[in-house]
Structure 1
């Protein structure tokens, strides 16, 4: 798998540019793992007995973007995407009616909103929204956590993509 539209994070940059660069790299990696697949392939649970799919991962990460940047950091009063207290794994679940177009549009909108929240805040600034385990978290913490979140799920995406069509790579 080629790097496509992905840019390697700068190797001699300040803290903000480094954190944002790694997060954007991981976002682009996830998108690359989903490239050139049909909706049916993106909904394929490729590693039985798991029901995890590439489209489910993108749905989950759209929700995670919304949660950490818009709800926790910016304090926006928004519903969660795809999941609820009654259905905590709803973000991972897809049906025949779940489309890549809608999923990608939701994810791209949340990434754009996250970038706007990030640009408007200092790294040390604590979130204005819901605390994490009773404690407000800084933008620095959220960016670091999101890098970890994407890195972990990009590992899952590697395995899912390879099982679908044999394609491997960074």
Structure 2
């Protein structure tokens, strides 16, 4: 009789200690989930940059700033349609446009720390801007991209390349992100 009482107790303990099996996700599902998370994070960063920019009273509001708003709207619709890669790239492009507007107006990006300024920093910035603008021109030609917003950003980057190289670089990077979103890789 005592043996019969122990059997349900042992079975109950054995069942209580076995872990509940978790649903197994395929690598494609995990990859899509990570991409969705990255797209959501980029969207939040772009919206934060837009909110910060709207809170400032900018003395110089460039014409290309409206493209950031259009890109953010398009990124939101891409996110809702589960086109995560396009949403991530467009949100990143919008964020870079907002950052370029901040730089153009003399606002610091990120944390402000006192750094020793290097004398060759402006030459390095001009070189990096020239490389990004050249890369954007090459990709426009190679992919035969006729996106008017990319061409507008390229024109603005070329115009700012000599006197505002960091702004030009950010605009060129935004154009490259738009091309990536359009082609899908």
Q: TM-score, normalised by structure 2?
A: 0.32
Kindly indicate whether structure 1 or structure 2 has the higher relative contact order, using CA contacts under 8 Å at least 6 residues apart: 1
| Structure showing the higher helix proportion among its residues | 2
User: Based on CA coordinates, which of the two structures has the bigger radius of gyration?
Assistant: 2
